[in-house]
A and B are shown apart, each in its own frame.
Chain A
Amino acid sequence: MAATIGTSTSRVDGRAKVTGTARYAGEFNVPNLAYAAVVTSTISKGRIARIDIGRARAVEGVLDVLTHDVRPEMGSTDQDYHDDVAPEGGSPFRPLYDEAIRFNYQPIALVLAEDWETAVFATTLVDIEYEEQAFATDLHAGIDAAHAVDKPEKPRGDALKALQGATVRHQADYFIPPEYHNPMELFAATVVWNGDGKLTIYDKTQGVQNVQRYVCGVFGLKPEDVRVISPFVGGAFGSGLRPQYEVVLATLGALHLRRPVRLVLSRAQMYGLGYRPATVERIALAANGRGLDAITYDAIAMTSRYEDFSRNDTGWAEQLYTSANARYTHKLASLDVATPCDMRAPGAASGVYALECAMDELAVALQLDPMELRLRCYSDRDQGAGLPYTSKQLKECYRQGAEAFGWARRNPAPRSMRDGSELLGMGMATGVWEALQVQFASRIVLTANGHAEVSSAASDIGTGTYTVVAQVAADTLGLPIDSVTVKLADSSLPKAPVEGGSWTAASIAHAIVNTAADIRKELLGLAQTMPNTPLGGLKLDDVALVDGMLMARNDRSRAVAVADVMRHGKLDRIEKERSSDFKEDDKHAHNTHSAVFAEVKVDEELGVIRVTRIVNAVAAGRIINTKTAASQIMGGVVWGIGMALQEEALTDHAFGRIMNANIAEYHVPVNADVHDIKVIFVDEPDSVINPLGIKGVGEIGIVGVAAAIANAVYHATGKRVRDLPITLDKLDR
């Protein structure tokens, strides 16, 4: 039996998903289910002066209407609403807590009814009077009042002086608009009141145990009384890291009615949740004869008034390139909006966009090939932390990516290449993301019939966790993948943090390797007590589980069948639970890297932009599953196309309303926008990072894509658009 790690293995849950048997949070049907619908605010700031639920309550089929002044008890301290992913400090939003309106689309009433249609109808009959206050939702207007975040990276040299003295420099502001999550699955929770005071909660989330702790905090419940389950997630990308208000309100309804309640938010209501914050990235670069000599970088992002959400936009510029002088600031503008949240490669998607466009502009100023400039300031150490990487094959990404793309064919002059009526542009960018790891636990139950069940509270948000867990377990236990069952995303299973930061594959693989080692250890102990044991004198590391046998690694003839060992030990099953014994490694930097190459064609007369080719060459350690990993990168690239050309929440700042809060007018790429995408995984052995040399691939795929496209648009047209998205009207300005 060949190892499955490193192969192209189809998703073990693929069939369930395409045949509809995979169930999502809003699809669990239980008897006596009541339906909830939410009324959201239409102002950005103020208070509810009066809320009249009389007309709504009078509707036949309406069970009740809950508001801040008619509802069951909820926690009254910030700590009660804290969750694992909440920003430090601040005061987490409390749904339906009081009369204050902090942002537009804030939930202010919950209708509970016998059916969904009645609930939705009754929401239109809740009469609200507001006392509105002056508000601000525009980042540009809030820049002057922005406050510093107290974690700027440490400066090097004297960047301002170096900039002033430089002969070649480039300075510009880059803008990323607010971008909203639009996962296919809407936010939903089904909360089952079990009669005995216990709740079973099906929620769309990236972390069932985070939601469990949070719900216990909000409602003063005991962990043993709250079980949170989320077996499948139809896309989350960071939007499900923090518990969202659907779970609070559905729980509130269930506790109030003492019966099961389902709440599915509408797509428009999703625009009242988190989002990628708008940022202004102000970058100045200076060059000397060799390459980069100075960087100043000021990032200004939007956040809410009640929490400081910040991600490290400037950190990527800090670590990536050699530059003797560097200085960074990071500021937040507090606005009357909901707190932003993580969105695929938070900080990097935005920060690297700006950095890599600025590098392109510097290369133009230096009359240097943009890839050559990057190679000149290539660094084998994290420039900020001054640490070596556990592995970094970025040079290979540049080389293999450029070759596959045909970068050598590029004529450096803008507007110099064309294909009939279209101008042709080629651009490139570097991508970088973290290779994070955290503590995960897993349980394995091996049965004598040669089957294993692996379980963990970890989530699979669509990335392929079920599949990689099955692969790692199959390989470490010496079983075919079909003999492994995987159970995930149930808070009663072994401990796992949220699925985020691209850390799950590496971390859970580590936990499984450890748990499987415990099983091997028990089997070896038993085997060595068998008469005429062939494994006498061998240590744990000397044996492996292969093809249902426990065998000596260096002598395949010394082996016994696992089934025989278990029979000998009179065992039907062996059950072990272990964590990854991951330790903070402060001697190295841990990152994934990529080189992205983009080809665009721009109709010269009309400015219509098409992204005709993308090559994304990625160095991300050992790839467990080339198929699911390539899908992650491809998905990231498609998102990058959207980020470059389409995505933007259009807020009317006079009303504080997002005017395109729907999937028809908030544009993301459709099939016709996506052409040739080639994903390359560069070989990157890494014996330092973890036992299997695994990094993550969930986020690196988007990083750099928007910059490569923007740089290609410049190369095609000679026009530099720094405000995303690059719509055709901006080429005309």
Chain B
Amino acid sequence: MNNFEYSRATDVADAIRQIAADPAAKFIAGGTNLVDLMKYDVARPARLIDITQLPLKSLEETPDGGVRIGALVPNSDLAYHPLIADRYPLLASAILAGASQQLRNMASTAGNLLQRTRCFYFYDTATPCNKREPGSGCAAIKGINRINAILGTSDACIATHPSDMCVALAALDARVHVTGPAGARSIAFADFHRLPEHSPHIDTTLEPDEIVTAIELPSKGFAKNYSYLKIRDRASYAFALVSVAAALEIDSGRIREARVALGGVAHKPWRRIDAEAALRGEAPDRTVFAKAADILLKGARGYSHNAFKIGLGRRAILRTLTQAANATPQIQSVKKIR
């Protein structure tokens, strides 16, 4: 861990001023990811700007029937908030599939979006990693890559984004509100995280001097037909090998609207509009689910230890869509898969 300065931001404008003044500074919210990275000497911020006092902790309904979630709402509060639990149970379920109760209590909404990959090499400064040290190489491609990505990878990086919550947010078409020196803007969730391409050290399209202020959910919550299914190496407190967020709107036996996002397989929550289009208008059965799964996994590439994710992902998609269609969502406190 390095030596660092510590300061507190008093309001959003102050936070932006502080970060713009010091390119080596970092915001700290719950600290559950950033502090670990500092302990491993992976993150070496010269200054920590504590944003926990900012007024970004509220959760409100928006005029058009959606919900606006402050960037500092803790993951636990979000999952158990009645508006979320009732209207966006997919999001609540995904959050509760992640980490542990203690971590969820500390973790913030924005921090969850901006958590970094769990790729083993990223955490070990004794090994090469393009994400940590641009140009040093990617040790995972030929190394221990069982947890790494199968979709959207590049020769420079095969890391995944590890979040559960973000998979649900992607499926729900959330928007990310950010503010920077140039003012406020909002980013579609699909555009927030990026693929590694040739610059895997950049995870998102957020500018270094911008702050996330809120996440906005549109009105459609898919509260009836949804499921979040997370496949992992132990029943709790492990990152997803593969996870699926599925949300359907079924009307008179036909799928009217469909969303499917995958976690644990790519540098961002993985969605394909054409897979969802293939579901629309069809009767919800395994044949059409299989078609959607094939589209979602098109171009998937396995590496030495993670090729199993392709088959597993396909079966997990089928299962999750079945759970969603049957209105029997996976319940996170029950470990038997429904």
Binding site for B on A (CB under 8 A): 42-43, 117, 120-121, 124, 420-422, 601, 603, 605-608, 610, 645-646, 650, 652, 654-655, 657, 659-662, 664-665, 667, 669-673, 727-729, 732-733
A-B contact pairs, 23 of them (CB 8 A): A121-B2, A420-B336, A605-B318, A606-B231, A606-B315, A645-B233, A652-B120, A654-B142, A654-B143, A655-B126, A655-B127, A657-B126, A659-B127, A660-B120, A662-B123, A664-B237, A670-B235, A672-B335, A673-B236, A727-B233, A728-B231, A728-B241, A729-B312
Contact A606 B312 (CB under 8 A): yes
Contact present for A610 and B235 (CB under 8 Å): yes
Name the CB-closest residue of B to A117.
Answer: B1
The answer, among B121, B146, B311, B337, for a CB contact under 8 Å with A732, is B311
Task: Please report the C-alpha to C-alpha distance between residue A20 and residue B262 in the assembled complex, in whole angstroms.
Answer: 44
Which residues of A sit under 8 angstroms from B124, Cβ to Cβ? 657, 659, 661
When chains A and B are docked, how far (Å) is the Cα of A673 from the Cα of B235?
6
Residue total for B at the interface (Cβ-Cβ under 8 A): 36
CB distance from B123 to the nearest CB of A (A): 8
Residue contact B144 to A610, C-beta cutoff 8 Å? no
Contact across chains for B139 and A655 when beta carbons are under 8 A apart: yes
**Once the chains are docked, how many angstroms separate the CA of A80 from the CA of B124?**
35
Check B336–A610 contact: CB distance below 8 A.
yes
Main secondary structure of the interface of A (DSSP, over half): loop
Beta-carbon contact of B337 and A606 below 8 Å: yes
Among the listed A43, A120, A601, A670, which residue makes an inter-chain contact with B237, where contact means beta carbons less than 8 Å apart? A670
Q: How far is the CA of A605 from the CA of B127 in the complex (A)?
A: 37
Q: How far is it, in angstroms, between the C-alpha of A551 and the C-alpha of B238 when the chains are bound?
A: 61
Distance in angstroms from B61 CB to nearest chain A CB is: 34
B41 within 8 A of A: yes
List the B residue with the shortest CB-CB distance to A725: B233
| Nearest Cβ on chain B to A508's Cβ, whole angstroms | 37
Smallest CB gap from B333: residue in A: A672
> Nearest residue in B to A660 (C-beta to C-beta)?
B120
Which single member of A121, A659, A728 contacts B143 (CB below 8 Å)?
A659
Cβ contact within 8 Å between A121 and B235:
no
* Chain B residues close to A by CB (< 8 Å): 1-3, 41, 118, 120-121, 123-127, 139, 142-144, 146, 231, 233-238, 241, 308, 311-312, 315-316, 318-319, 335-338
Extra contacts, 15 of them, besides A603-B336, A606-B312, A659-B127 (Cβ < 8 A), are A121-B2, A421-B338, A422-B337, A603-B337, A605-B319, A607-B312, A652-B139, A652-B143, A659-B144, A667-B233, A667-B234, A669-B234, A670-B235, A729-B312, A732-B308
Contact of A646 among B3, B142, B234 (CB under 8 A): B234
Decide if A652 touches B144 in the complex (CB within 8 Å).
Answer: yes
Q: Are B316 and A606 in contact (CB under 8 A)?
A: yes
Inter-chain contacts of A655 with B (CB < 8 A): 126-127, 139, 143
Chain A minimum-CB-distance residue to B332: A672
Which residue of A is nearest B143, CB measured? Answer: A652
> Do B143 and A672 have beta carbons less than 8 Å apart?
no
Q: Is the CB of A124 within 8 A of B1?
A: yes
Contacts of B236 in A (CB 8 A): 670-673
Q: For B316, what are the chain A residues with a Cβ–Cβ distance below 8 Å?
A: 606
Closest chain A residue, CB of each to CB of B236: A672
Q: Closest Cβ of chain B: how far from A218's Cβ, in Å?
A: 28
Please determine whether A652 and B335 come into contact, CB atoms closer than 8 angstroms.
Answer: no
Decide: A606 near B139, CB < 8 A? Known: A665-B120, A672-B335.
Answer: no
